[in-house]
Structure 1
Amino acid sequence: MDFQGTLFAAEDTTLSFAGLQRRPLGRGAWIDVRRGWLPEADDAFATLVAAVPWRAERREMYERVVDVPRLLHTYGVGEALPHPVLDRARDALSAHYLPELGEPFVTAGCCYYRDGRDSVAWHGDRIGRGRSRDTMVAIVSVGDPRRLALRPRGGGESISVAMGHGDLLVMGGSCQRTWEHAVPKVAHAGPRISVQFRPLNVF
């Protein structure tokens, strides 16, 4: 692991949504971004690296089986997360978005991008209810900054959001059905972990 955390501890240890910025994407989709949202981000990152039972996956692609270029683990409904601040984050997100979402966030998918070669291709979380209904996926990023790219499904101009240490990005509305997102490969990057909070039966 080669990641240098913040030089100064953050004074604000609350999970505040003050300063949250919403960006409409079109077609009923939107994203919310809140910089530096997660307190204890350095400690959370170190704990995630050490405590999550990371697994490598292989997937059939273009008539051959290849390594998935990142490590993965999912915490299901009712499972305690590896750091208390992540349980607090899930509860805070559930409370804040309940009026729009109508249900809590209950699962947490974790992706470990070890360096710039690790990535995820264009996709939307369209297995389960995300295929037919508006929903939300809340992403908390810790570690080195990486770019999250988004583009309209079926073609159109893409946008990107640089996700830094402790940043929050929420994809909502029709985003999973009408837009796709990706984390592209880059020439140089240190380790980064994303935690994706989802409602029940959204994958």
Structure 2
Amino acid sequence: MTFVLQGSLLDQVEDVGLRTLDTGVRRTPLSHGAWIDVRPGWLTGADELFTRLTLGGAAGVDWRSERRVMWDKEVATPRLLRFYGESEPWPDPVLAQARSMLSAHYREELGEPFTTVGMCLYRDGRDSVTWHGDREGRASRQDTMVAIVSIGAPRALVLRPVGGGAGRTVRHVLGHGDLLVMGGSCQRTWEHAVPKTSTPVGPRISIQFRPHDIR
């Protein structure tokens, strides 16, 4: 599996690492107790990590295609996916480092560590995810957090209150190591999406960290 990525001139380093979370994090309160934090460029060497995760075989991620039923017809999910549970080995050591840093930084608010990592590979602008909240498990009834690290080509992640609402959409273009954390009631009272785009765009990987029993 080969993907052509237009790298960032600001991230031409081979060493993959993480910057501090003590500075550079911007919080935006939403409504109903929801909020988002954004830390631009949290992960350095994002292009190098993208290459590692898309090598395929034992060296990368065994990306999987899933199918779902829409309008009484089974169709392929418009992106590739891989979920790693708490007991599985993860494909790159920087992911475990990121989990530890996120768990330490949000320990007081979250009250528990991040334990799992899920990944979505958007191959081009035709790949997307529709409006949804991560409400499987405890997230349907409890406040929680989902942390997303974006590597590869920048794509828009949009948020809106459940049920919509004119003029209330929040939009962030994420890529090249940016971090976005959705917290509070965000998974229950807001929904998010990565819309399709007709603009030529390269591949992107969304790396999602979640606590136990949150999907």
For Structure 1 versus Structure 2, the TM-score category normalised by the shorter chain is: over 0.9
Q: Which residue of 2 aligns with 1:95?
A: 104
Q: 1:114 to 1:160 in 2, by over 3 A?
A: same
Residue 48 in structure 1 maps to residue 50 in structure 2: no
Give 1:83 shift: 1.5
Q: Which residue of 2 aligns with 1:33?
A: 38
Partner deviation per Cα, 1:57-77 (whole Å, 9 max, x = no partner):
110011111110000000100
Give 1:183 shift: 0.1
Q: Which residue of 1 aligns with 2:7?
A: 5
Match of 1:140 among 120, 133, 149: 149
Give 1:158 shift: 1.2
Residue 158 in structure 1 maps to residue 160 in structure 2: no
8 Å CA contact 1:80–1:87 kept in 2: the answer is: no
Partners in 1 of 2:19 and 2:87 — Cα distance?
21
Amino acid at match of 1:189: V
RMSD: 1.5
Give 1:9 shift: 2.5
Higher deviation after alignment, 9-18 or 53-62: 9-18
Q: Please, which runs of 5 or more residues in structure 1 have no aligned partner?
A: none
Give 1:154 shift: 1.7
Q: Which residue of 2 aligns with 1:167?
A: 178
Partners in 1 of 2:184 and 2:18 — Cα distance?
26
Q: Which is richer in strand?
A: 1
Partner deviation per Cα, 1:23-70 (whole Å, 9 max, x = no partner):
001110000000000122122111111210111011001111111000
- Count how many residue pairs are aligned between Structure 1 and Structure 2: 203
Partners in 2 of 1:141 and 1:37 — Cα distance?
10
Partner deviation per Cα, 1:158-185 (whole Å, 9 max, x = no partner):
1111102100000000000000000000
Q: 1:198 to 1:118 in 2, by over 3 A?
A: same
Tell me the SS of whatever aligns to 1:9.
Answer: coil
Give 1:10 shift: 8.5
Give 1:197 shift: 0.2
Amino acid at match of 1:115: D
Match of 2:192 among 177, 181, 188: 181
8 Å CA contact 2:16–2:48 kept in 1: the answer is: no
Partner deviation per Cα, 1:120-165 (whole Å, 9 max, x = no partner):
0000001100000000000000000000010000221211111021
8 Å CA contact 1:40–1:85 kept in 2: the answer is: no
Q: Which residue of 2 aligns with 1:191?
A: 203
Give 1:189 shift: 1.1
Q: Please, which runs of 5 or more residues in structure 2 have no aligned partner?
A: none
Tell me the SS of whatever aligns to 2:30.
Answer: strand
Partners in 2 of 1:43 and 1:186 — Cα distance?
25
Match of 2:85 among 76, 79, 82: 76
Give 1:13 shift: 4.2
